[in-house]
Chain A
């Protein structure tokens, strides 16, 4: 019943949007309104991802967003986006203000743009973070979890503060620089990742986080390489006496990204190390999380694309098997790593409507959320995940 309802909605979207361009423009294009809506279907052989997916079919995976931008002058833009996400028990329910900012271009010439942004600014973390909730901009239904972990998605997502950007073009290629300083937004999923449950208090930024990304693009626009580094300091605000009130988390992720794009195929790889220090009344906990993926996509026809990816993440760079962490915590070793083979197919039914399917074969449960999997001992080390998604945008 529910399934046919979802299929019908997706189909309706597709019919509605068979016209190529559906963007809303006002005031000679100075005001633009865009949006997206995606519905996913998730099923897994064991373990829950995005809802009760284990030996079951979960429809608990939706991403809806709408944004507006206003550019009264070529050097000034106001924009904001509101999103509604539903991904099992991990995300906050209700509407979230994804970004709300003023972008001012300080200088713009034929080979250089420099500007500044104020407000809630998206963090340019790796290649995909800034638009991670927009299915059309992702290479697959779920992003590689080694770098873009969904269980703590908001950590790297946006900052309330200031962003500075610069783009310099030359005969040797282009260099883009982005710097963001501001308070990171922390959600329930991120909180549960560090204290393994959704406790009564909440986590918040202890002081402004700092993020920097520098990217080089070759003159032929085929190859890009980027380095991202950030520092985040979070603290836990207990509202009751039941939990250690002095917990503080320091994270310093670093990512190297590379992408080669050709007409029919694209090869992408990213490698990340994140030092995490958790200080509390209990013994301090220092750790380096490591992750990487290699991904290839190929355009079979103008509307059909395949993707293949190997994605690996390790909660401790020196303990890939998870045995040491298992001995220290009493939790199963497979909770400290995940190695994920993904195969996917994307069919662009129209330019504004697409359907996607993908299959994951995963060894390890490292990136599963404690909110969806309350009992660690009930998790299985090796599992399969099948996902389908319909996505529409304008």
Chain B
């Protein structure tokens, strides 16, 4: 019992750590340099990140990268850019993953990993603090 309690405390500490990592960063949608869209609609962004739209308008595959559900960047992105909630996205993914009708996005642990993956994966889309967008290998995609 004492062991279980200690484990619980450990988990809680882990979460708190994950949540203080980011402050009031300006989060934007980021894409691989081969993505030709400069801006997309909010509804298309929501369809992409809920894994319902799997193709760019030219037919090439969309590869979605996300941070863990409880990371501060994810929370800001989902609430402010997609204007929905992390649990709504999670349930959209789960409904598809466990009924065979879709797949989950690829989860990365940190913004650094997000940068590496977006830069190196054609068709990739994710989100990053604005200052991490180099405009060369990682492009900004505006939501209108």
Contacts of A80 in B (CB 8 A): 100
A18-B14, A21-B68 are known contacts. Are A113 and B104 too (CB-CB below 8 A)?
no
Q: How far is the CB of B32 from chain A (nearest CB, A)?
A: 13
Q: How far is the CB of B113 from chain A (nearest CB, A)?
A: 11
A108-B53, A167-B52 are known contacts. Are A303 and B15 too (CB-CB below 8 A)?
yes
**Contact indicator B97/A34 (Cβ below 8 Å):** yes
Contacts of A109 in B (CB 8 A): 57
Partner of B41 from the list A28, A67, A75, A110 (CB cut-off 8 Å) is A110
Roughly how many angstroms separate A108 CA and B51 CA in the complex, as a whole number? Answer: 12
Contacts of B54 in A (CB 8 A): 71, 74-75, 105, 108
**Contact indicator A263/B103 (Cβ below 8 Å):** no
Question: A interface, how many residues as a size bin?
Answer: 35 or more
Partner of A221 from the list B8, B83, B99, B104 (CB cut-off 8 Å) is B83
Closest residue on chain A to residue B3 by CB atoms: A11
Contacts of B23 in A (CB 8 A): none
Roughly how many angstroms separate A36 CA and B97 CA in the complex, as a whole number? Answer: 11
> By DSSP majority rule, is chain A's interface helix, strand, loop, or mixed?
strand
Using a Cβ cutoff of 8 Å, how many contacts connect chains A and B? 125
Roughly how many angstroms separate A386 CA and B40 CA in the complex, as a whole number? Answer: 49
Q: How far is the CB of B55 from chain A (nearest CB, A)?
A: 5
**Contact indicator B100/A122 (Cβ below 8 Å):** yes
Contacts of B52 in A (CB 8 A): 113, 167
**Contact indicator A108/B55 (Cβ below 8 Å):** yes
B129 at the interface (CB under 8 A from A): no
Partner of A137 from the list B70, B98, B100 (CB cut-off 8 Å) is B98
Q: How far is the CB of B78 from chain A (nearest CB, A)?
A: 10
A321 at the interface (CB under 8 A from B): no
**Contact indicator A169/B47 (Cβ below 8 Å):** yes
**Contact indicator A220/B83 (Cβ below 8 Å):** yes
Contacts of A101 in B (CB 8 A): 100
B62 at the interface (CB under 8 A from A): yes
Roughly how many angstroms separate A109 CA and B101 CA in the complex, as a whole number? Answer: 18
Closest residue on chain A to residue B70 by CB atoms: A302
**Contact indicator A99/B97 (Cβ below 8 Å):** no
User: What residues make up the interface of A, taking CB atoms closer than 8 Å to B?
Assistant: 11, 14-15, 18, 20-21, 23, 25, 28-29, 32, 34, 36, 65, 67, 69, 71, 73-75, 77, 79-81, 99-101, 103, 105, 108-111, 113, 117, 121-122, 130-131, 134, 136-137, 165, 167, 169, 174, 219-221, 261, 263, 299, 302-303, 349-351
User: What residues make up the interface of B, taking CB atoms closer than 8 Å to A?
Assistant: 4, 7-8, 11, 14-15, 40-41, 43-44, 46-47, 52-55, 57, 59-63, 68-70, 79, 83-85, 87-88, 91, 94-95, 97-104, 106-107, 109, 121
Which 9 pairs across A and B sit closest by C-beta, in order of nearness?
Answer: A79-B100, A74-B61, A130-B99, A21-B107, A131-B98, A74-B54, A122-B99, A20-B68, A221-B84
